[in-house]
Structure 1
Amino acid sequence: MMSLLRQTMTSRTGGYVTRRLHVPHEVWSQGGAKLASVPEKIRVVEVLCSALEELQNWSAEYFGAGNVSSGMALGIGSIGRKEGEAWAAKLDEFSAVLDGVVGNFGKKLGVGEGFVTKKSSGVTSWGGKLTRQLDKFTNGKNLDSPAIYVHGLSKLFLQAQILDEHSKAISSTPIAPLYAGFPVEIRQALEIKLKHASEFFAKVVLTFVIRDMALLLDKYVKKCEKWLAE
């Protein structure tokens, strides 16, 4: 879904989100459309992009730079329990970022209810990191700019594909070679962590993005009706 949405934002001809729904590129760049809480959404997107970039770097460190799900990454044969435990620790840090986003912005954006199932030290410690990152990313930016918001979403949806690669790798039959070297209990733990990340993007990010897209589509259709009437 994130790949399809990104296509509507980056292609001049837009793209199909479903078999019946085509979203023109102009939907995202039209003027006069007022979206709610854009500054908060820009902050969320910036923090998630930073966290995913860090996760991408660690994935390359442990698995190599290739595609994890296809088994084409470097490092096959040299991955075992040690790398699995280290990767699990990085996914825990990433989960703390996701929980922190919901804790800090979920109520304002109207998303993520029930997503954070338990409190952890990671969420607490991440609060200070969140503040520092927000200061770094948003300093001097126009946080009310829909263009910055859409550009950030395009970047986020591209970076999020690293999670898709790992989810496919661990759930494929047979399992991808890079995950086959992990003990069963580590694979099971990793699968739970990756599922948690997937649920975050489904229940939090896609919830407010699709809500915004619906508003923008409604605005765009009304403009088209006006043009036809004229």
Structure 2
Amino acid sequence: MMSLLRTTMTSATGGYVTRRLHVPQEVWSQGGAKLTNVSEKVRVVAILCSALEDLQTSSSEYFGAGNVSSGMALGIGSIGRTEGEAWISRLEDFSTVCDGVVASFGKKLGVGEGFVVKKTTWGDKLGRRFDKLTNGKNLDSPAAYVAGLRKLFLHVQLLDEHSKAITSQPVAPAYAAFPADIRVAADKKLKRVSQFFATVVLTFVIRDLSQLLDKYAKKCEKWLAE
């Protein structure tokens, strides 16, 4: 879904998010649509992008460059339990970021229902990271929000690659060398962060898209009437 949404933002002709719903690119750049809590959403998107960039670095370190699900990752040699446990730790770090986002912004954005937040003391660290990433930026800019979503929806495909690699039959070479318990633990953490994107990120993005489509449809009606 996030890949499809990104296409609607980057392709000159927009794209389909379902078989029946086509979203023109202009929907995202139109003026006059008043989205709520844009500054908070820009902050959330910025911190997730930063965390995913860190995760990508770790993925390249442990699995090599390339797509881990296609088997095209350029391996770095022997991979075993030590590397597997280190990768699990990085996934846990990312999961902690997700918990911090929900704890700090879930209530205000009206998202996160069904996502159980683990107790964390990472709140202050999260706040400082937000401030560093967004310092000097126009957080109320819808353009900054959409630009951030384009970047986020590209980076998040890393999680999809790993999910496909670990659930494919047979298991992709990138994960085949790991002990079974390491694969089970990685699968569990990947499913949890997938739930986060479904119940938090996609919830507020789809809500905003609905509002933008409604505004765009009204503009089209006005144009036709004229």
TM range (shorter): over 0.9
Aligned counterpart, 1:207: 203
TM-score (normalised: structure 2): 0.98
Alignment-mate amino acid for residue 118 of structure 1? K
Rounded Cα–Cα distance in structure 1 between residues aligned with 2:151 and 2:136: 20
Residue pair 1:102, 1:116 contacting (<8 A) in 2 also? no
The amino acid of 1:136's aligned partner reads K
Distance of 1:172 and 1:107 partners within structure 2: 36
Q: Give the residue type in structure 1 aligned to 2:147.
A: H
Counterpart of 1:3 in structure 2 is 3
- Aligned-pair distance for 1:116? 2.4
Confirm whether residue 21 of structure 1 aligns to residue 21 of structure 2.
yes
Per-residue Cα deviation, 1:96-140 (whole angstroms, up to 9, x for no partner): 000100000000000002312432xxx31x222212211112211
Is 1:110 aligned with 2:110? yes
Amino acid paired to 1:161: Q
2:90 is aligned with 1:131: no
The aligned counterpart of 2:54 is 54
Equivalent residue, structure 2, for 1:220: 216
Pairs within 5 Å for 1:1-230: 1-75=1-75, 78-119=78-119, 123-124=120-121, 126-230=122-226
Q: Distance in 1 between matches of 2:21 and 2:61?
A: 40
Distance 2:194 2:173 in 1: 22
Amino acid at match of 2:68: V
Q: Tell me which amino acid in the other structure corresponds to 2:142.
A: P
In structure 1, distance between residues paired with 2:199 and 2:171: 27
Unaligned runs of 5+ in 1: none
Describe the shift of the 1:223–1:200 C-alpha distance in structure 2 as closer, same or farther (beyond 3 A): same
Residues 114-169 of structure 1: CA deviation (Å, up to 9, x unaligned): 312432xxx31x22221221111221111110000000000000000000000000
Q: What secondary structure does 1:86 align onto?
A: helix
**What is the one-letter code of the residue matched to 1:133?**
R
Structure 2 contact 28–212 (Cα < 8 Å) conserved = yes
The runs of 5 or more residues in structure 2 that have no matched partner are none
Q: Distance in 1 between matches of 2:27 and 2:87?
A: 39
Q: Is the 8 A contact 2:103 2:117 kept in 1?
A: no
Tell me the TM-score normalised to structure 1 length: 0.96
SS of the residue 2:184 aligns to: helix
CA distance in 2, matches of 1:91, 1:148: 27
Q: How many residue pairs are counted as aligned between the two chains?
A: 226
User: For residues 92 and 163 of structure 2, what CA distance do their matches in structure 1 show?
Assistant: 15
Amino acid at match of 1:146: P
Q: Give the residue type in structure 2 aligned to 1:141.
A: K
- 1:113 alignment partner AA: E
Matches of 1:170 and 1:115, distance apart in 2: 23
Q: Residue 178 of structure 1: CA displacement?
A: 1.2
User: What is the root-mean-square deviation of aligned Cα atoms in Å?
Assistant: 1.0
Over 4 Å off, 4+ runs: none
